[in-house]
Amino acid sequence: MAILVPQCLARLMLILLLIGVSNAQLSSNFYSSSCPNLLSIIRTAVNSAVSSDSRMGASLLRLHFHDCFVALKGPSWAIALGRRDSTTASLSNANSQIPGPGNNLNALITAFSNKGFTAREMVALSGSHTIGQARCTTFRNRIYNEANINATFATSTRANCPRSGGDNTLSPLDVATPTAFNNDYYRNLISLKGLLHSDQQLFNNGSTDAQVRAYSTNSASFFNDFAAAMVKMTNLSPLTGTNGQIRRNCRRTN
């Protein structure tokens, strides 16, 4: 049965809690005395944000990825709590460290390997593109110029992404079930319906094809690997202790 986004987030939080995330500095009970109701406060806020804008779950998930890869700010909705906010931001670091939609498989593997992730974890984390949307400018080249794309899918996606103009019009990353967190992302790849060039790279006669096939028929295995990789990402070079700060206003440094 399809899992809707709010349930997905709540479930993911629960999975992470059960795993008992902890390391020397981050822990799942980081706020247990200073803010004992934190998790229910977050859950209520996330549920209400997602019910007023169904894309919000996807946006939060992507924010988690970008935050953890560049380690600029936190804490977020992630369960290993205690990440502190950065006092600086670096556009060039963000651009150079976060993989882009035009990347080939080797570049994707390298970008994740630079952060200590295996190709296998990269494929699992990419499954987050089972929800959310992308702007036309990020996939235009693929739908007009690439050969490894389903023709019907290319035609229907072009309707919403002209050759020129409309850069910001959105298309779902998972054409089959755009708001359900499931393994359809991998099924799409096998049907050559990956939206981004980088998505389709995971199933393009390369070293990750077998794993895509496996996830496409075994959602439990995808969910397990995804949750474990998310926990690992949460623990990526966090600012803790006296590094960074806790923002009084999320929009700006103190």
Decide if residue 103 touches ligand HEM (CB under 6 A). yes
Tokens of residue 165, six digits: 């103009």
> By three-state DSSP, how is residue 77 classified?
coil
Query: Given the complex with ligand HEM, which of 81 and 108 has the nearer CB atom?
Result: 108
DSSP 141-198: HHHHH-SSS-HHHHHHHHTTS-SSS-TT-EEESSSSSTTB-STHHHHHHHTT--SSHH
Restricting to residues 133-162, which ones interact with ligand HEM according to CB under 6 A? 133-135, 138
Decide if residue 253 touches ligand HEM (CB under 6 A). no
Q: Which stretch binds ligand HEM (CB under 6 A): 8-16, 32-40, 126-134, 156-164?
A: 126-134
Does the active-site annotation cover 197? no
Q: Which stretch binds ligand HEM (CB under 6 A): 100-108, 145-153, 177-185, 210-218?
A: 100-108
Query: Given the complex with ligand HEM, which of 55 and 213 has the nearer CB atom?
Result: 55
Judge contact between 252 and 40, C-beta under 8 A.
no
Decide if residue 206 touches ligand HEM (CB under 6 A). no
CA distance 188 to 194: 6
Tokens of residue 158, six digits: 């072009």
Quick one: which of 54, 59, 76, 93 contacts ligand HEM (CB under 6 A)? Answer: 59
For residue 210, the minimal CB distance to ligand HEM (Å) is 18
133-135/170-172 β-pairing: antiparallel
CA distance 88 to 70: 11
For residue 75, the minimal CB distance to ligand HEM (Å) is 17
CA distance 58 to 143: 23
Residues that bind ligand HEM (CB under 6 A): 55, 58-59, 61-62, 65, 99-101, 103, 108, 122, 125-126, 128-129, 131-135, 138, 196, 198
> Could you give the residue numbers annotated as active site?
66
